[in-house]
């Protein structure tokens, strides 16, 4: 069986944990190279969770460390690169790997702006390698339950869908400064849309094609450019409506992710916990199943590891968001082994869940005006957007 040689770029909070765990637990993956601008993250102990960790260099002596990404690609020649750099800079790393026909597992969001989307899409089309979008929420058990209900027709056609991602991230600002709002429209919550839109788009057969979005502005801190809270309303061509609420500066101490689906034959809801006394709940109701016309609670949580899944894959332990990240790596490696024409969460999927959030920022900039959404596979319309929308959203640096 082929063994995949894995390299990672970005050894921060997430990259160091993911790299170690994937190499340890996923059958047929071998760590060969790691890269970060800061060599201390490889060679020195790191203070995390009130304790000093053993340096990765000691834990993984078989892995070669690089400070320069291009040099790593050249000298280590990995089969797969895991991209775990800040959310604002994934694309260049992905493009460089694809240009060498190296497979990519990229964390979210897929891109920062429309120009990056155009370039990454083109690089992927031209490459023999595949890109898997590391969209964690697609690995959760309750999301799989929602997809099962939909596939079996028990929800009917979803026509209104809702997602909330409420996470006070202020304690992460010091260690990950890219999360801290520092310039106008630099960090608008709706732009981190993949966690919310990924699961909902997986049960929609249309694209999101328009958005209105408003921001509360800054109330919680003395940062003038902060947007404490945004609420976006997306629509598809048949007027299916998606509401997405995001807030990363707040005093809310509930769980992070909630979802609701209104369908023509039923309703699904995952409500995150509301403190210890009120645990998370996943429920549904349907007209298609005797006994389930009223709310039925499903005993399903974050773990995707059903009996069937455990039987199907070889792994020695689980990691990452209740096992969701383990699951994504298992299906990614399986797809590569089977030479699948596309990945289970493909680049196209990643752009479908990333770009609407970027267009939502454009709506915020325009005071909540309706903005049409396009994708790189709609070449002319997408280029027109690049030529006309704000520099924040397009990535075209020249001031208009």
Residues of this chain that bind ligand NAD (CB under 6 A)? 9-15, 35-38, 41, 69, 84-87, 107-108, 134, 136, 176, 321
The residue among 69 and 375 lying less far from ligand NAD, judged by its C-beta, is 69
Q: What is the nearest approach in angstroms of ligand NAD to the Cβ of residue 238?
A: 30
Q: What is the nearest approach in angstroms of ligand NAD to the Cβ of residue 349?
A: 14
Q: What is the nearest approach in angstroms of ligand NAD to the Cβ of residue 161?
A: 20
Q: Residue 286: beta bridge partners? A: 266
Token pair of 126 as six digits: 């031209």
The residue among 139 and 156 lying less far from ligand NAD, judged by its C-beta, is 139
Give the C-alpha separation, 55 to 47, whole Å.
10
Q: What is the nearest approach in angstroms of ligand NAD to the Cβ of residue 311?
A: 26
The residue among 20 and 321 lying less far from ligand NAD, judged by its C-beta, is 321
The residue among 173 and 225 lying less far from ligand NAD, judged by its C-beta, is 173
| Residue nearest to ligand NAD according to CB distances in the complex | 12
Q: What is the nearest approach in angstroms of ligand NAD to the Cβ of residue 345?
A: 11
Give the C-alpha separation, 254 to 25, whole Å.
31
Strands (E), the chain: 4-9, 29-35, 47-48, 51-52, 64-66, 80-83, 103-107, 131-134, 158-166, 210-215, 230-235, 241-247, 257-263, 266-271, 281-286, 296-297, 371-372
24 Rama sector, left if φ>0, alpha if ψ -120 to 50, beta otherwise: alpha
Contacts of 225 (CB under 8 A, 6+ apart): 181, 182, 183, 184, 185, 186, 187, 218
| Residue 141, Cβ density class (10 Å: 0-12 exposed, 13-18 middle, ≥19 buried) | buried
Contacts of 233 (CB under 8 A, 6+ apart): 211, 212, 213, 241, 242, 243, 244
The residue among 86 and 288 lying less far from ligand NAD, judged by its C-beta, is 86
The residue among 15 and 78 lying less far from ligand NAD, judged by its C-beta, is 15
Contacts of 177 (CB under 8 A, 6+ apart): none
Q: What is the nearest approach in angstroms of ligand NAD to the Cβ of residue 197?
A: 14
Q: What is the nearest approach in angstroms of ligand NAD to the Cβ of residue 80?
A: 17
The residue among 56 and 149 lying less far from ligand NAD, judged by its C-beta, is 56
The residue among 46 and 212 lying less far from ligand NAD, judged by its C-beta, is 46
Q: What is the nearest approach in angstroms of ligand NAD to the Cβ of residue 37?
A: 4
Q: Is there a contact between 3 and 30 (Cβ–Cβ < 8 Å)?
A: yes
Give the C-alpha separation, 89 to 125, whole Å.
20
């Amino acid at each position: 069986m082929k063994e995949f040689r894995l390299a990672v770029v970005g050894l921060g909070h997430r990259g160091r944990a993911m790299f170690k765990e994937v190499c340890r637990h996923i059958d047929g993956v071998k760590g060969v190279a790691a890269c970060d601008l800061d060599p201390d993250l490889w060679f020195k102990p790191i203070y995390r969770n009130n304790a000093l960790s053993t340096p990765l260099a000691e834990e993984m002596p078989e892995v070669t460390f690089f400070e320069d990404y291009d040099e790593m690609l050249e000298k280590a020649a990995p089969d797969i690169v895991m991209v775990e750099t800040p959310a604002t800079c994934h694309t260049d790393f992905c493009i460089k790997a694809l240009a060498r026909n190296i497979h990519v597992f990229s964390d979210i969001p897929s891109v920062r702006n429309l120009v990056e989307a155009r370039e990454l899409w083109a690089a992927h089309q031209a490459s023999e390698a595949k890109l898997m979008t590391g969209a964690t929420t697609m690995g959760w058990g309750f999301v799989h339950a929602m997809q099962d209900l939909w596939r079996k027709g028990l929800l009917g056609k979803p026509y209104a869908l809702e997602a909330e991602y409420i996470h006070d991230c202020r304690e992460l600002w010091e260690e990950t400064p890219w999360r801290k709002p520092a310039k106008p429209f630099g960090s608008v919550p709706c732009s981190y849309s993949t966690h919310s839109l990924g699961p909902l788009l997986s049960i929609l057969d249309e694209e999101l094609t328009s958005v209105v979005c408003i921001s509360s502005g800054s109330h919680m801190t003395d940062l003038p450019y902060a947007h404490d809270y945004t609420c976006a309303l997306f629509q598809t061509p048949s007027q299916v409506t998606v509401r997405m609420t995001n807030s990363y500066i707040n005093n809310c101490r509930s769980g992070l992710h909630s979802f609701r689906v209104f369908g023509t034959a039923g309703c699904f809801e995952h409500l995150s916990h509301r403190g210890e006394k009120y645990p998370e709940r996943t429920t549904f109701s349907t007209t298609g199943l005797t006994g389930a016309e009223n709310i039925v609670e499903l005993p399903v949580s974050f773990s995707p590891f059903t009996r069937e899944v455990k039987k199907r894959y070889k792994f020695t332990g689980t990691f990452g968001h209740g096992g969701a990240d383990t699951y994504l790596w298992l299906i990614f490696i399986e797809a590569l082994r089977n030479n699948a024409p596309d990945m289970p969460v493909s680049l196209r999927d990643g752009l479908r869940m990333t770009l609407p959030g970027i267009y939502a920022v454009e709506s915020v900039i325009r005071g909540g005006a309706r903005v049409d959404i396009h994708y790189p596979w709609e070449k002319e319309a997408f280029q027109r957007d690049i030529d006309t929308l704000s520099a924040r959203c397009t990535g075209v640096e020249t001031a208009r």
